[in-house]
A and B are shown apart, each in its own frame.
Chain A
Amino acid sequence: MYEFDFSFLNDYMPDLIHGIWLTIGMTVASILPGFVLGTAVAVARLRGRPWVKRIATVYVEAIRNTPLIIQVFWLFFGLAALQVHIGPFAAAVIALVINVGAYTAEIMRAGFQSIPRGQLEAADCLALSPFQSLIQIEVPQAVERVYPALVSQFVLMMLATSIMSQISAEELTGVAYMIQSFTFRGFEVYLVIAVFYLGLASALRFVLMGLAEVSFPRRRRLRTPL
């Protein structure tokens, strides 16, 4: 009979907490820049000059059709080869922003395209500049329409941080691997880690849905679900 042994929880608690913080840190640091980059790329794909559109398309397709870990290695070792030295945390965040930006761009593109043309014409006729129209009219509505998809994408990104120990950013999965190699209690360790990820993902969803309550006053007032 297999005997469970969770004593590592006690012995390695500081390492686990450090790992959790690193996972949270990478996620939080990547969400806003990733969203801004993705939105900008979506606008570039929809409104840019032909060469801008082409660059945006190449970026989106290149990122969405290659593994994240290859992108991370390429950035981390590539920059090192160019004598640009950044820490593993910074490299991880940059890679995540570039990665999630491409997916966000596609989600936001759908959001922008769902806005009736008449509204943009009305904004034009009220003498709003294209940028004012984008910020005041288009982005708020696009975000509102694709919000659940954005939340899923950011949760996926949080889970994807689990590969970052490969460039020695010792996040939660990296810590788990380290504990497992000392204790040989892989079954228990990865069970606990999975529960931690489940908790983190639920918390992230909860926070992002709470943000929606604050950000979309119309939904709050009229009680329309997202």
Chain B
Amino acid sequence: MNEAAIPRIQSKDSPAMSGSSQPMVRFHNLRKSYGAVEVLKGIDLEVSSGQVVALIGRSGSGKSTALRCVNGLERFQAGELHVCGYDLSAKDLNLRNLRQDVGIVFQSYNLFPHLTVEQNVTLAPRKVKGVGHTEARELAKEVLAQVGLSDKVDAYPEQLSGGQQQRVAIARSLAMKPKLMLFDEVTSALDPELTGEVLRTIERLAADGMTMMLVTHEMAFARSVADQVVFMHQGRVWEAGPGDMLLDPQTVELRQFVGSGL
């Protein structure tokens, strides 16, 4: 892959955030329950602009739920969450505005099977932002180049491998020019080879300065790419620090988790 050919992501400043050193995402004592079961028991977490934060932990530790709170897919009962200048506990929160700033990629790709790759990528910019037809084509070229799929513009999702579909899903999010990208176990459905191509795409985004939160089971990847690794356990942030904390766990739980994961 020719690194020089990949356009850099233009980062825009949110009006609500310009001129301040406010973090892009700030959880403060956030609590969430499903009925009587409390799944997030007071999360405190900050992500500043340009940072890559990896959420790791066992299934059921609350990491995906925490991530899904960030773009309003899950609501919470107590605490505060601010994302890109939006207060997610506000009654008059405009979710559609928030979601133009926050992209998300899922484990199951969720591409629209009846649309071509280009149509998948340009649908939201055209319908939500009113981007014109020719401009949308250019946009599709740009973001598909970013994920290394320039030659698949006219393909349908079912003609692509899982890894390629996942990269299209990433391109589809990028086309909205988000300030923050969320990745929810995006490689869990892929074999090691396809996992590699998706992880390299994410690495390049990180190098381009995209702010990202990712839930992942790829420990080596979390260690190398993340500025901050957050180990979640039983609905709490159990241990957090730079990637190298995985080499020297302070808690028994993280030691056990890393021991079983690497």
Chain A interface residues toward B at CB < 8 A? 116, 118-119, 121-129, 132, 136-137, 140-141, 144, 216, 218, 221-222
Contacts and interface: CB of A to CB of B under 8 A. Distances in A.
Contacts of B96: 127, 129
B100 interface: yes
Contact of A128 (B113, B127, B169): B127
A222 B158 contact: yes
A119 B110 contact: yes
B170 to A, nearest CB: 12
A122 B159 CA distance: 20
A122 B106 contact: yes
B114 A132 contact: no
A24 to B, nearest CB: 31
Nearest to A137: B112
A84 B222 CA distance: 73
A86 to B, nearest CB: 39
A144 B112 CA distance: 13
A224 to B, nearest CB: 9
Given A118-B110, A218-B113, A218-B114, A125 B104 contact: yes
Contacts of A216: 114
Contacts of B123: 126, 128, 136
Interface in B226-256: none
Residue of A119, A140, A141 with most chain B CB atoms under a 10 A cut-off: A119
Nearest to B156: A218
Given A118-B110, A132-B128, A216-B114, 5 more contacts: A118-B108, A122-B111, A124-B73, A124-B99, A126-B172
Contacts, number: 61
Contact of B99 (A126, A136, A218): A126
A116 B124 contact: no
B182 to A, nearest CB: 9
Q: Which 3 A-B pairs have CB atoms at the shortest separation, nearest pair first? A: A122-B110, A126-B124, A118-B110
Contacts of B54: none
Nearest to B158: A222
A125 B111 CA distance: 12
B113 A141 contact: yes
Contacts of B158: 222
Contact of A121 (B106, B112, B128): B106
Residue of B100, B106, B127, B176 with most chain A CB atoms under a 10 A cut-off: B127
B64 interface: no
Contact of A126 (B73, B97, B156, B176): B176
Interface residues of B, number: 26
Contacts of B124: 126-128
A127 B102 CA distance: 10
B188 to A, nearest CB: 14
A126 B95 CA distance: 10
A129 B130 CA distance: 13
27 contacts: A116-B108, A116-B110, A118-B106, A121-B106, A122-B111, A122-B169, A124-B73, A125-B99, A126-B99, A126-B123, A126-B124, A126-B128, A126-B172, A127-B99, A127-B128, A128-B124, A128-B127, A128-B128, A129-B96, A136-B112, A136-B127, A140-B114, A144-B114, A218-B113, A218-B156, A222-B156, A222-B158
A132 B156 contact: no
Contacts of A141: 112-114
B71 interface: yes
Interface in B40-68: none
Contacts of B100: 127
Residue of A116, A127, A129, A144 with most chain B CB atoms under a 10 A cut-off: A127
Nearest to A219: B114
B127 A221 contact: no
A137 B111 CA distance: 10
Residue of A121, A126, A222 with most chain B CB atoms under a 10 A cut-off: A126
Nearest to B182: A125
A144 B114 CA distance: 9
Residue of A125, A136, A216 with most chain B CB atoms under a 10 A cut-off: A125
A183 to B, nearest CB: 53
B156 A121 contact: no
Contacts of A122: 106, 110-112, 169
Residue of A116, A128, A144, A222 with most chain B CB atoms under a 10 A cut-off: A128
A137 B124 CA distance: 11
